[in-house]
């Protein structure tokens, strides 16, 4: 059962999503290599080096499961393995979801963890002409179709679905560098171009929140609770996005790539820690904000009492009694019989008393 999935049980990892999962610009030093995908450094699926040097979810998992497979290595797509993210992907079905059919090959007992994170490029472009297909309704429908496909075709899987981050905070990221001044607004025009307190900004913020709410509603609605070997969980650590600040109180640009939009390797490390910690927190009590400090001490460890990744099912377990199932039934029937017996004895006693009284009266009349 994936509701008793421990970190050491995971043998395969995979990721579906957009440029963030593809590691777009993660180690870029200028606009010349910004478009390089450092997939081996991706927070959700990268496996370059080890946890001591590169913080990613697979590198954390490898501390528990040395035979883990599926993580991407290096740059580009040559060693992507099960990193099926597509940079710039928008609404239209989570990119690469059909490629997950490869994830289920091999040992039938293999357990998998899949990350699904997509929506920022769509939300950033929703206000542009001809982008009606990027609506919240279409996004939710395509996410549902993708999860339905995983539910039907991929066994023994724990699916992490991340809520889209609050994009408005990126308006605070400013720099005089060429990459930041030229590329940031083009990366997310619907959030970065509207004026402060404008109707356009208010509307796109509302839509951003709807993306989050509809994702949570889909995942928590019980649609995917029918199998013991499948669980999908919303991980909300980006729900209330907080821009990390430097010592001078200004946004800390070390968490962002040269375009002031995508995350740097340091940002990817914080994303990995946030996801891992969310996985170890019960549903309903998960941290719903990011805490970007790059403090390695934040990485939690499973406890002896709670060694499993939390799902909706094991977060609210039914308290099972050690008493056999038939015992309450027998007890109830026994109580009912005792009640009937007590009532019969009481009634029969009263009847005997009345008969005795009548007999005495007759004897008195006879004398």
Residues 49 and 180 in one domain: yes
Tell me how far the alpha carbon of residue 285 is from its chain's centroid: 12
Q: Is residue 2 part of a domain?
A: no
In-domain check, residue 189? yes
Whole-angstrom distance, CA of residue 2 vs CA of residue 113:
10
pLDDT score recorded for residue 343: 62
Count the domains in the chain.
2
How far apart are the C-alpha atoms of 31 and 29, rounded to whole Å?
7
In this prediction, residue 170 carries a pLDDT of 92
Identify whether residues 128 and 193 lie together within a single domain. yes
What CATH number has the domain bearing residue 139? 3.40.50.1110
Q: What are the Cα distances from residue 3, in Å, to 13, 124, 225, 307, 310?
A: 17, 35, 11, 11, 7
Residue 322 has a pLDDT of 40
Q: Which residues of 276-286 are buried (b: 16+ CB within 10 A; e: fewer)?
A: bbbbbbebeeb
pLDDT at 345: 64
In this structure, the answer to whether residues 242 and 341 fall within a common structural domain is: no
Q: Specify whether 284 is located in the same domain as 343.
A: no
Q: Is the dihedral of CA 71, 74, 76, 77 positive or negative?
A: negative
Strand arrangement, sheet containing 111-117: 10-17, 111-117, 157-162, 230-235
Q: How many contiguous H segments (helices) and E segments (strands) does the chain have?
A: 10, 4
What is the C-alpha radius of gyration for the chain, rounded to an integer number of angstroms?
30
Q: Do both 176 and 46 map to the same domain?
A: yes
Collect the ranges in the chain with pLDDT lower than 70.
Answer: 90-95, 101, 104-107, 318-367
Among candidate residues 146, 70, 73, the one with its CA nearest the CA of residue 105: 70
Domain range for 287: 7-298
Q: Judge if 199 and 241 occupy the same domain.
A: yes
Tokens 């400013």 belong to which residue? 174
- Is 1 within the bounds of a domain? no
Token pair for 216? 């949570």
Is there a single domain that holds both residue 252 and residue 361?
A: no
pLDDT of residue 190: 95
């Amino acid at each position: 059962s994936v509701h008793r999935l421990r970190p050491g049980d995971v043998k395969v990892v995979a990721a579906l999503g957009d440029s963030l999962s593809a590691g777009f610009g993660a180690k870029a030093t200028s606009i010349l290599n910004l478009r390089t995908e450092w997939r081996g450094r991706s927070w959700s699926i990268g496996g370059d080096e080890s946890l001591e040097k590169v913080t990613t979810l697979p590198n954390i998992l490898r501390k528990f499961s040395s035979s883990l497979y599926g993580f991407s290595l290096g740059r580009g797509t040559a060693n992507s393995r099960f990193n099926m993210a597509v940079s710039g992907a928008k609404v239209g079905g989570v990119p690469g979801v059909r490629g997950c059919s490869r994830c289920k090959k091999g040992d039938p007992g293999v357990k998998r963890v899949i990350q699904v994170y997509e929506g920022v490029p769509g939300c950033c472009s929703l206000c542009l002409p001809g982008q009606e297909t990027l609506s919240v309704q279409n996004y939710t429908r395509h996410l549902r179709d993708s999860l339905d496909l995983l539910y039907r075709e991929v066994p023994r899987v724990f699916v992490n679905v991340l809520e889209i981050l609050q994009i408005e905070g990126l308006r605070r990221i400013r720099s005089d560098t060429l990459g930041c001044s030229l590329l940031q607004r083009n990366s997310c025009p619907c959030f970065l171009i509207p004026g402060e307190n404008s109707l356009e900004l208010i509307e796109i913020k509302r839509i951003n929140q709807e993306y989050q709410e509809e994702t949570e509603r889909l995942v928590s609605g019980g649609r995917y609770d029918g199998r013991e070997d499948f669980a999908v969980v919303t991980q909300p650590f980006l729900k209330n996005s907080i821009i990390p600040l430097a010592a001078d109180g200004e946004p800390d640009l070390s968490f962002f790539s040269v375009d002031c939009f995508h995350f740097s390797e340091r940002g990817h490390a914080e994303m990995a820690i946030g996801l891992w910690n969310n996985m170890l927190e019960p549903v309903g009590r998960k941290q719903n904000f990011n805490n970007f400090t790059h403090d390695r001490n934040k990485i939690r460890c499973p406890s002896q009492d709670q060694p499993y990744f939390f799902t909706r099912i094991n977060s609210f377990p039914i308290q099972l009694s050690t008493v056999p199932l038939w015992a309450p039934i027998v007890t109830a029937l026994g109580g009912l019989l005792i009640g009937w017996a007590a009532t019969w004895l009481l009634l029969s006693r009263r009847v005997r008393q009345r008969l005795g009284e009548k007999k005495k009266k007759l004897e008195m009349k006879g004398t």
